[in-house]
Every structure is written in C-alpha cells, then in structure tokens.
C-alpha cells in the first residue's frame, strides 16, 4: 500500500518534468500509487502547442489551470478557460491546442494505461523526432495517432 505524500508545484514523481514533444509534463500521481487506476499530470504549453490528434482506450479529463485552450473531441471543439473541465471518453479521437502565449493543464487518465510509458519514451529524444517515430512509439504502446495537431 502506498504512503501519503505531497509534491510541490515544481516537483514531479520522476524528479523533473518530462519533455513531451517540447512541452514540460509533470507526473503528479502515478499509476503505481493508485493500483493503475489513475494518473495525474500537469503540462505547460506555449502558444500553438498541443499533441497530435489521437485516441486511446482510457478516459481523459482536463482541468484548465492557465491560458485558453481549444479541445477537439471527434468533430466538436470546445474553448476552455481557467477553471473549466473537459471530459474525453475513451476511444474518442481528440487533442488540445493552447491559443494564448502560455497555458497549463492538469489532466488525468483513468485507468492509467500506457500514457506514463509513452511520455517517458518521448522524453528520451534530445530533439523533436520525425512524425513517423512519434506514430511508432504511440502505436507500440497502444495509442493511435490519427492526424496532426490542430490549428486555431
């Protein structure tokens, strides 16, 4: 059974933020802490940053901490501001895009699934990998990239 803990705002379970496609991502609660039921992350974005359009077999919930973001789920778009929550059910094609100079999202994945492993793998690259490599890494761990990042 895990012990209670606290992570301060600049802390991550790995000791440092992971570089995920140019975005710092902090693992705040790991699957190993919750019997693989939940992982919690905080990601920092610059304007026009966001992941490629993708899907996975896990639910994802976003809480906007800072900035404004576009969320796309299927063909729908939502505009999120600080305090807003966006829920993306599993197997829904989705992505996000920061539309202000900077932004910050808290997001959860439930159950944990392979997200932590994918972020750790992407952190190993010292420069932005080719699109084919990003697709390969995701597919290898069970996530599907179905398109490029969205634009405003």
Residue 78 neighbours by CB under 8 Å, 6+ apart: 70, 71, 72, 86
> Which CATH number applies to 18-147?
2.60.120.10
Determine the length of the chain. 152
Region 55-77: what's the mean pLDDT? 97
Q: Can you give the pLDDT at residue 25?
A: 97
Q: Can you give the pLDDT at residue 89?
A: 97
Report CA Rg, the chain.
15
Q: Find the range with the poorest average confidence among 36-40, 110-114, 129-133.
A: 129-133
Region 64-81: what's the mean pLDDT? 97
Return the domain boundaries, the chain: 18-147
Q: Can you give the pLDDT at residue 15?
A: 92
Q: pTM for the full model?
A: 0.93
Report whether 31 contacts 91 (CB < 8 A).
no
Report whether 31 contacts 120 (CB < 8 A).
no
Region 40-69: what's the mean pLDDT? 96
For the chain, the straight-line distance linking the first and the last C-alpha, in angstroms and rounded, comes to 45
Region 128-137: what's the mean pLDDT? 86
What is the crossing angle of helices 131-140 and 115-123, to 10°? 150
Instruction: Please state, in angstroms and rounded to a whole number, the distance separating the CA atoms of residues 66 and 80.
Output: 10
Residue 131 in this model has a pLDDT that exceeds 90: no
Q: Can you give the pLDDT at residue 64?
A: 98
For 108-124, the pLDDT digits (tens) are 999 998 999 999 999 99
């Amino acid at each position: 059974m895990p012990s209670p803990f606290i992570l301060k705002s600049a802390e991550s379970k790995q000791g440092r933020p992971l570089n995920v496609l140019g975005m710092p991502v902090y693992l705040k609660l790991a699957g190993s802490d919750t019997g693989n039921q939940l992982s919690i992350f905080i990601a920092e974005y610059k304007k026009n940053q966001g992941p490629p359009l993708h899907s996975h077999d896990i639910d994802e919930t976003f809480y906007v901490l800072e900035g404004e973001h576009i969320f796309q789920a299927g063909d729908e778009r939502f505009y999120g501001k600080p305090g807003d929550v966006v829920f993306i059910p599993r197997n829904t094609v989705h992505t996000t895009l920061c539309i202000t100079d900077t932004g910050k999202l808290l997001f959860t994945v439930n159950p944990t699934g392979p997200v932590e492993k994918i972020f750790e793998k992407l952190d190993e690259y010292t420069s932005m990998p080719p699109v084919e490599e990003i697709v390969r890494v995701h597919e290898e761990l069970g996530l599907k990239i179905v398109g490029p990042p969205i634009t405003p």
